[in-house]
Amino acid sequence: MANLVLILISLLAIGRTLVHAGEPSPLQDFCVADFDSPVRVNGHACLDPKKVTADHFFFEGLHKPGNTSNPLGSFVNRPTVDEIPGLNTLGISTVRVDYAPRGVVPPHRHPRASEILIVLEGEVLVGFVTSDPENKLFSKVLKKGDVFAFPFGLIHFQQNVGHGNAVTIAFLSSQNPGVIPIANTVFGSNPSINDDLLAKAFRVDKSIIRNLKSPY
């Protein structure tokens, strides 16, 4: 019996740890970010609730198509807590992506969020890869109305594989999910990661590394 109780306590403790892998449960109705507060906390200090208005929870314009005339052929409009201060401590945010035909959101990861994506227009190839050693690809072509989830922190990507433009909306489990585009971080860091190390790591010639590092 005592053993069973111990096991139950351990399981509860693990459960709590998992819950706290996301953002903590609220202790009040809201904690709108006070960007002027000198207090340093994980996130932002709370604005005086008497000063909070509907506009703190509001963002407009996500119906507007983004400009996809760029080398990736995509545009990401990602309002986080910086644009919607009411998101502070809520563990949630949203993003709209527009894609020209063949446009991509290159392989990237969010260090602080899982993501659920909905296709509003077009046909979008999506996928994520599991961690070492399996590195298994889970991928699918989505059409309008389809939904796909990207698990916490895993590398994922999107490409418009339809004939017209595509639009997706996604929701992320953080007020500030962050984004780590793999190519930008590995080949575009400042200062740069040494060519010899990268050539060895990717098992290619240094000239290829220098090529990957040069801006398009």
Ligand X SMILES: *[C@@H]1O[C@H](CO)[C@@H](O)[C@H](O)[C@H]1NC(C)=O
Give binding residues for Mn(2+) as ranges.
108, 110, 115, 156
- Please say which residue, 3 or 67, places its beta carbon nearer to ligand X: 67
Q: How many residues bind ligand X (CB under 6 A)?
A: 2
- Residue among 43 and 103 whose Cβ is closer to ligand X: 103
Annotated binding site: 108, 110, 115, 156
Residue 98 or 115 having the CB closest to ligand X: 98
- Shortest approach of ligand X to residue 64 CB, angstroms? 11
Q: How far is the CB of 166 from ligand X (least distance, A)?
A: 17
* Cβ nearer to ligand X, comparing 20 with 64: 64
Residues 46-105 binding ligand X (CB under 6 A) are 67, 69
By CB under 6 A, tell whether 214 contacts ligand X: no
Residue number of the CB atom closest to ligand X: 67
Closest-CA residue to 152 (of 131, 136, 122): 131
The site for ligand X (CB under 6 A) is made up of: 67, 69
